[in-house]
Amino acid sequence: MSNIAIAIHGGAGGFSQKGIENEQEIHDSLKAILAPAFDVLKNGGTALDAVETAVRLLENDALYNAGRGACLNSKGKVQLDAAIMNGANLEAGALACIRYVKNPISLARMVMERTKHVLICGEGAEDFAREMNVELVDEEYFITEKQQKSLKTEQEKVLKEEKTETKFGTVGAVALDKDGNLAAATSTGGITNKKYSRIGDSPLIGIGNYANNETCAISCTGDGEFFIRSVVAYDVSCLMEYKGLSLKEACEIVIHDKVKKLGGEGGLIAIDKNGNIELPFNSGRMARGFKTLKEEFTGVYE
């Protein structure tokens, strides 16, 4: 029980300049979400239950780009992605390009536990959701005024051939339970003004999400195309498994060296089998926090 821990993130680079009006609101939200998710662990629950609880709450909070408040694609619609992984047996479930599922992370867990598949997408995933009787909502539930304004701004910049603003708002959680099992969960709306049913790193196992009891659990947030090319989550695990690096050393190499050299921005949250936690990012900011029996932290900037 002494090493139980959970870490969460609400995205890297997803907020405007330092000193934003809702910075305290983000701190309060992260703290409020950490509490019930950690209680799952403290009450003897599994790491899987804890990360699902945390990400469901993040999906329900319009502050973040996942579930309610997700960013909009070029047609003004939402396309949601999510993934979850069990470090005890390397089982995983993921979804891509879904539109009506209130809590994608819970459906991703059903993919893992109730099908033979790992990743399903689009209309097929929606059909599966109906079979599982999960809560479906009208698309209007997800769409906020903030994201409508963001889409308009991005599209105007494209027309003027101006540089678009880098914004990431993926959410995620990693946890270690009393039995030494690790789990990771990630959920996102992707990037504003995305086209062609674009899929980023979040639902891709080993890239935006990964968990292995022998090494660590990882949830990523950032410039998905660069994270895909860097195979970020699995790379951290591999550096630990094959080179014997610590969690801190592996995270530093991947985020501040490999991803950065390619031009990618973002970060990740990580926890190893001993309960060590790392929250590295190379962007200007990342909403993140963690809670253990001895310590609690939330932050947005350095």
The catalytic residues are 170
Return the ∠ at Cα 8 (arms to 182 and 128), rounded to 5°: 70
Question: How many Cα atoms are found within 13 Å in the side-chain-facing hemisphere of 152?
Answer: 6
What span, in angstroms and rounded, lies between the C-alpha atoms of 112 and 109? Answer: 5
Q: Measuring CA to CA, which residue among 78, 76, 16, 33 is closest to residue 175?
A: 33
Question: How many Cα atoms are found within 13 Å in the side-chain-facing hemisphere of 162?
Answer: 10
CA-to-CA separations, 157 to 77, 161, 165, 221, in angstroms, rounded? 19, 6, 9, 24
3-state helix, strand, coil in the chain (%, to 5): 35, 25, 40
Burial 167-190 (b: 16+ CB within 10 A, else e): bbbbbbbbbbbbeebbbbbbbbbb
Q: Are 84 and 48 within 8 A, CB to CB?
A: yes
Tokens 């396309």 correspond to what residue?
79
What span, in angstroms and rounded, lies between the C-alpha atoms of 84 and 94? Answer: 6
> Could you tell me whether strands 209-211 and 91-98 are parallel, antiparallel, or unpaired per DSSP bridges?
unpaired
